[in-house]
Amino acid sequence: MLATADHPLIITNWAGRDVDAWHALSDLAERHAIPVVQWRNRFMSIASDHPMNLGYEPKALLEIADVVLTVDIAVPWLPAAHTVRDDAKIIHMAPDPLYGYVPVRGHRADIALACSTPLGLRALDAALSAHTSGAGDRIESRRAVLAERREDMRAGWREALARVKHETPVHPAWLSHCIGEIKGEDAIVIKESGLMLPHVNFSRPGTMLNAGAASGLGWGLGCALGAKLAAPDRLVIATEGDGAYMFCNPIASHYVAAEQDLPILTIIFNNQRWDAVRRATLGLTPDGHAARSNRAPITYLDGIHKYEKAVEVADGHGERVTTPDELMPALDRALKAVTVERRQALVNVMCS
């Protein structure tokens, strides 16, 4: 199916939790010119600058795809938001490709491949290679089209960033870009925030963890401390929403960081609200009391905003940023505190 497809597509969410799968997916996608979309991804599964990395939203490619390979993703699209061709063939690859732990799941499956992800990808790559001689022209033609599509996509990202880089409060895209500028290739970034992946470059496996599988917020700082324990010589950056940070039991987390000598950098995307709560409430009850209210209860956090003070009780470095001009100098000072002074730091960024 994949060898004869004109518009194949790979969608994944967390294949990259296995380092071998990162390399296997990268090789397969490059050799056979198959675009990869990492939708709502919990791990990076292919490098940001890989020529077959076609972003983080499958809608446009899914509409034209004649064969879709989903790899380690329980929900590869939303029927209410995405269109799949009626004649498209759907292949699911995962250790449990039908996701038996999900009580209700109705995604189409023409083929379900139950296998170790890296081994399955390697076997599929080898099988596809047997068809290369007859599919060479198709592959190279598709590669050229995808290169143009990818450049248009990235140009759109650059234009969007240029439009918001001077906004006050700081736009999450600009904050994401600045984090990308300071982190280096080897840093581990924890994503429990509005971090916008199109504006951050990840070139190595295991460097972005959006790994919370619990039913709510508050796992991010614990994850960051665990990452620092596992990799004490690497920079660990915990990116948190202000509501998520509150759920992380921050005083206890900062205490553990100090007591265990785990200097991590925490960056708060502070939009002064629990926006996930607000969106979910309005989405489920668009005509309810919360929607009619000018100020839905237990949603807005603008009465408390000096989170940078919390890290100071553990002798950490704390700063609050309110304008884009302040951002890079504050991040540089925080980075120095973590990497040179070996004490934890927190930058509280007031975001739109």
The answer on pLDDT for 212 being more than 80 is: no
Residue 215 has what pLDDT? 63
State the Cα–Cα distance between residues 250 and 247, nearest whole angstrom.
Answer: 8
Candidates 221, 261, 215; CA nearest to 239 is 221
pLDDT band at 214 (very low <50, low <70, confident <90, very high): low
Residue 184 has what pLDDT? 95
Residue 281 has what pLDDT? 83
Question: Per the structure block, which two tokens stand in for 103?
Answer: 């009580």
List of residues 6+ apart from 317 with CB closer than 8 A: 311, 333, 334, 337, 338, 341, 343, 344, 345, 346
Average pLDDT score over the chain: 94
State the Cα–Cα distance between residues 339 and 8, nearest whole angstrom.
Answer: 44
Angle at 239 between CA 277 and CA 337, to 5 degrees: 145
Mean pLDDT score, 323-335: 98
What are 219-274's pLDDT values in tens digits? 999 999 999 999 999 999 999 999 999 999 999 999 999 999 999 999 999 999 88
Partner residues linked to 317 by β-bridges: 345
pTM of the model: 0.94
Domains of the chain, start order: 8-155 (3.40.50.1220), 172-350 (3.40.50.970)
Q: Report DSSP letters for 26-79, one per residue.
A: HHHHHHHT--EEETT-SB--S-TT-TTB--S--HHHHHH-SEEEEES-S-S--T
pLDDT band at 213 (very low <50, low <70, confident <90, very high): low
State the Cα–Cα distance between residues 60 and 54, nearest whole angstrom.
Answer: 10
Mean pLDDT score, 191-213: 92
Mean pLDDT score, 303-323: 95
